[in-house]
């Protein structure tokens, strides 16, 4: 039986122990942007690393299977589709919380340039950071109501009414829903951003859109260029939240349109560039998990994405993820770059999407 988040996602985040503090993973190309795997997807692999490590190496440390409550990651270098080595250092093993330092390493880009270099593989750290975990039994204490609410408010209190068939996704005939939401993506550069095919996303129509704010409702719907039987409609689980924290196609669509316009490339659709002019690599990504999702998963999650500044090639992004009940599920903050897309593909060969 496939997990709630689909077998495609499960295969993409599988972590295998090879010793008490060393693990392996196989980063999947279907979750890539150009030649580089999506940052949020990579974070989901590290989420799985944390849960696997405590199950494998510290099975009696906490009362039950601990879950990450905080992740602080730094992306040092470009990752790549293919094998990855994951290492863990136990920085604090506590009663209520434990903190580990994790590293995702891969071969240097240059290591595949000759057969001689292949024989002397050199692993380089690509992503490093800290993950703090706590188990649900120990995670108890006082709770107080908060007067906080979204400002400005979301266009609607719940997800749009959507009809999903094997071949199509469309809004239901409800006229109110249709007037407020539109499907976002896959966009004009989805063959380059293969990850855009892994989700169904709806954002407000122009009438309900707010400057500097991106609202979206999203549902996992994975595809694969391999075994199509493993793909399908999925549900959001705790392990998918890092991916969703870095998932906002409407924001990228807006930035891409502005970039094309500023470069005087705006033209009829037939002359739209095959690849976007810019790439937006993540530098740091911090996630605070506030509420666990149900074991059976959630169909839809809402994200409020705010970009306060895009200046000197650096961008800040804040993301609030909420469930259908309006409860905060996760709080996220990004530091990213705006760089020429050649920085993504330079020195690399990658399989172009056929999706």
In terms of DSSP H, where are the helices of the chain?
A: 6-13, 39-56, 115-119, 175-180, 241-245, 249-262, 342-345
Please tell me the least confidently modeled range out of 24-33, 63-72, 110-119, 152-161. 110-119
Mean pLDDT score, 259-287:
73
Per-residue confidence (pLDDT) for residue 111, from 0 to 100? 47
Whether pLDDT at 354 is above 90: no
Nearest to 275 by CA among 193, 198, 196: 193
Mean pLDDT of the region 279-308: 94
Can you give the pLDDT at residue 160? 83
- Longest alpha-carbon distance in the chain: 64
* Average pLDDT along the chain: 87
Q: Which of 123-137, 222-236, 264-278, 296-310 shows the lowest mean pLDDT across its residues?
A: 264-278
Mean pLDDT of 30-52: 96
Cβ(50)–Cβ(131) under 8 Å? yes
Q: What is the pLDDT of residue 168?
A: 79
Which residue has better confidence, 137 or 337? 337
Distance of CA 69 to the CA centre of its chain: 16
* CATH code linked to domain 162-345: 3.10.129.10
Sign for the pseudo-dihedral over CA of 34, 35, 39, 44: positive
The segment(s) of the chain belonging to CATH 3.10.129.10 are: 6-134, 162-345
Q: Taking the CB of residue 251, how many other CB atoms lie within 10 A of it?
A: 22
> 66: closest CA among 12, 133, 8?
133
Q: Are 202 and 217 contacting, i.e. CB atoms less than 8 angstroms apart?
A: yes
C-alpha triplet 327, 95, 238: angle, nearest 5°: 30
CATH, range 6-134 = 3.10.129.10
Distance in angstroms (rounded) separating the CA atoms of residues 150 and 33: 31
Instruction: Say how far apart CA 138 and CA 95 lie, in whole Å.
Output: 8
Degrees to nearest 5, angle at CA 103 with 97 and 104: 130
pLDDT tens-digit map of 135-186: 887 777 888 888 888 988 888 888 888 888 777 788 887 656 667 888 887 8
């Amino acid at each position: 039986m496939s997990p709630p988040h689909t077998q495609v996602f499960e295969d993409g985040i599988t972590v295998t122990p090879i010793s008490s503090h060393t693990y392996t993973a196989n980063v999947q190309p279907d979750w890539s942007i150009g030649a580089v795997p999506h940052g949020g997807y990579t974070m989901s692999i590290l989420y799985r690393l944390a849960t696997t490590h405590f199950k494998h190496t510290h099975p009696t440390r906490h009362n039950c299977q601990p879950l990450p409550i905080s992740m602080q990651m730094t992306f040092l270098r470009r990752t790549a589709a293919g094998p990855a080595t994951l290492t863990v250092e136990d920085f604090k093993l506590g009663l209520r919380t434990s903190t580990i330092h994790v590293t995702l390493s891969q071969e240097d880009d240059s290591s595949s340039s000759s057969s001689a270099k292949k024989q002397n593989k050199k692993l380089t750290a690509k992503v490093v950071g800290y993950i703090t975990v706590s188990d649900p039994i120990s995670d108890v204490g006082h709770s107080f109501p908060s007067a906080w609410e979204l400002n400005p408010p979301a266009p609607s209190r719940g997800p749009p009414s959507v009809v999903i068939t094997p071949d199509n996704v469309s809004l239901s005939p409800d006229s109110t829903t249709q007037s407020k939401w539109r499907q976002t993506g896959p966009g004009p550069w989805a063959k380059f951003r293969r990850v855009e095919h892994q989700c169904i996303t709806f954002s407000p129509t122009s009438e309900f859109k707010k400057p500097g704010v991106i609202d979206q409702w999203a549902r996992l719907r994975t595809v694969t260029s391999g075994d199509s039987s493993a793909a399908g409609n999925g549900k959001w689980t705790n392990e998918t939240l890092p991916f969703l924290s870095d998932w906002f196609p409407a924001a990228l669509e807006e930035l891409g349109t502005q970039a094309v316009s500023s470069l005087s490339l705006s033209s009829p659709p037939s002359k739209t560039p095959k690849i976007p002019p810019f790439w937006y690599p993540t530098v740091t990504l911090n996630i605070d998990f506030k509420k666990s999702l149900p074991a059976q998963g959630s169909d839809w999650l809402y994200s409020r994405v705010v970009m306060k500044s895009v200046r000197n090639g650096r961008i800040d992004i804040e993301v609030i993820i909420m469930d259908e009940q309006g409860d905060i599920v996760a709080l996220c903050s990004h530091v990213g770059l705006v760089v020429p897309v050649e920085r993504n593909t330079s020195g690399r060969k990658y399989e172009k999407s056929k999706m």
